[in-house]
Structure 1
């Protein structure tokens, strides 16, 4: 089978096309004939430093959509020919290949009304946003929510999910992405390059602050945004923990939630992995009925993935990029 492989840790331009044996599913696994695979920052990040458990050459690609091609022993929840989507185990060979293996527990059926390319945009970014907005922050109508990086994958889904919950959403994004982010459901957009975000948030909320923050930028940003929370406010940290020492004990009493999607595999149990399927099934349904925009901005063939990952590493890509097999 054709696959895009990495021979050793390094930049994305070291990825190369190769032929690998078609894998055979083990107990509890299925083989997937890949139709589409979403690109994510974790791909270029993992390429740079590698994973100790990898078998070389490694294959990247966490957001897989395809048809079930073969069943391993003890698999009863899916059937051959069924189109499924899933968030893959970071330690295993991924979806930038014609065939790959998946844990049957994490598979979510793709609705017939949803294109494979749209489904492949959802697992990593969509599940991360869903965990943050729905499962951890419990955003509801009447909340005010700040989302940093609103034009990106996680940020864009977080904006949509918070708006769908009835919240007022303020997002940060570059000026040229303002119209796009407002189209996703943000009531206001702050240009983080030219404007003072805390001042604008205070202005927008009449000095009150926000009920919840989804921070997709990093520890420094998350720490700064703690100061924008109301008493009892909530913050979901996507890209790094905030420093809680900046908040006096027993004062504003924030709750902080670290989102670690892939840890469902590395430290989670069977229930954790099944939740990946449950949450993704919900997201796929929302996309199929038009409530959630998958935000696919470009599709590309396997051979163009290295250049696209390099572009993605510059943090200037709007929405989602998806690799497809013709």
Structure 2
């Protein structure tokens, strides 16, 4: 027999049309498996997941789980779960193939997905830094191997991932530039302390992104371009996305007013041995882009923070990384930017407006 809880879920309403709803009859197991724990959820970060990926994982289901970035209190532990005790405060990232919503009154999770939450860190801040923090940490440390003295360009720097990536890169003594899509984002980034080397408001500059970056680096180029929000590249021409053999790559023209930089511009910004890290799973390279990367000795790396939870061989690295992130939040070396919080009942409306929140993270907070 399962436990009935209130949870936000994707619900199929007609055909292939899905909507976010708060279900009153969501089920979680009443009996825990060996290394599982039951968590009374206090906060859950809201992120627009790649719905095609989520639906492919959970095939033929009328409801799909929503919310993976959780913070809460251990309510019960499984027979062989020995990392936590009842009453411990924890934070973690649920696997992408996990059948239960994290955006719920309570959820069941594997203990190896969680780490202890310091008491000085609020549940909202903890949940607000999990996904973006793991993504940024993975991109900078494990994918790009950023070192002190290198130059990093963070695309969409005001996004939840971008904000944490900027702070991590600065902690590791990298020189950081960031792009902003609006004047509001640019003002936010310019107020960041310590200050960034350059805030590039896309569409404002008459010069191309390439000219700005080369000037800032003395003509050497950017060591790492980080596209961790997967929405920072011009989609108008289709270049750099799923394409047919007859499609034409974008031309190396400057960014247009109000448009995003093209893939060609980002590759042209790279230094010799530069790394382009992207969270866009649909990115494909046209031959001119491959030639450009070949001549620079550059590389492209795809970024998916949920990969850590798909293999038991990576649990140690994942838990070390998440513990380090939470400790940095505890010591104020990283400060998550929370746009606003919502109650569980208001999650459906919050999801409809999620794309309008261009700065910081939206977090579901359970009422006390």
If the length of structure 2 is used for normalisation, what is the TM-score?
0.80
* Compared CA separation, residues 242 and 118, structure 1 to 2 (3 A): same
Farther-moved stretch of structure 1 (245-254 vs 290-299): 245-254
Shift of 1:20: 2.7
Matched, 1:91 2:97: yes
Could you give the per-residue CA deviations for residues 1-53 of structure 1, whole angstroms, max 9, x where no partner exists? Answer: 221233226454x42342334533223211111000001121xx428972442
Match of 1:264 in 2: 308
1:143–1:167 Cα contact (<8 Å) kept: yes
Matches within 5 A, 1:164-313: 164-173=171-180, 174-182=182-190, 183=192, 185-195=195-205, 196-216=208-228, 217=232, 219=240, 221-222=262-263, 224-240=265-281, 241=283, 243=285, 245=287, 246-248=289-291, 250-265=294-309, 268-313=310-355
2:54–2:96 Cα contact (<8 Å) kept: no
* Compared CA separation, residues 6 and 47, structure 1 to 2 (3 A): farther
Shift of 1:223: 5.1
1:106–1:274 Cα contact (<8 Å) kept: no
Q: 3-state SS of the aligned residue for 1:251?
A: helix
Measured in 1, the distance between the counterparts of 2:118 and 2:52 equals 32
Measured in 2, the distance between the counterparts of 1:10 and 1:18 equals 21
- RMSD between aligned residues: 2.3
Measured in 1, the distance between the counterparts of 2:323 and 2:165 equals 17
Structure 1 portions without partners, runs of 5+: none
Measured in 2, the distance between the counterparts of 1:231 and 1:53 equals 42
Matched, 1:46 2:55: no
Displacement over 6 Å in runs of 4+? none
Tell me how many residue pairs correspond in the alignment. 320
If the length of structure 1 is used for normalisation, what is the TM-score?
0.90
Larger Rg: 2
Q: 3-state SS of the aligned residue for 2:352?
A: helix
Could you give the per-residue CA deviations for residues 107-155 of structure 1, whole angstroms, max 9, x where no partner exists? Answer: 1110111111000011111100000112222222211111101010111
Shift of 1:300: 1.0
1:223–1:242 Cα contact (<8 Å) kept: no
Could you give the per-residue CA deviations for residues 161-207 of structure 1, whole angstroms, max 9, x where no partner exists? Answer: 11111111110012211232230552211112333322222232232
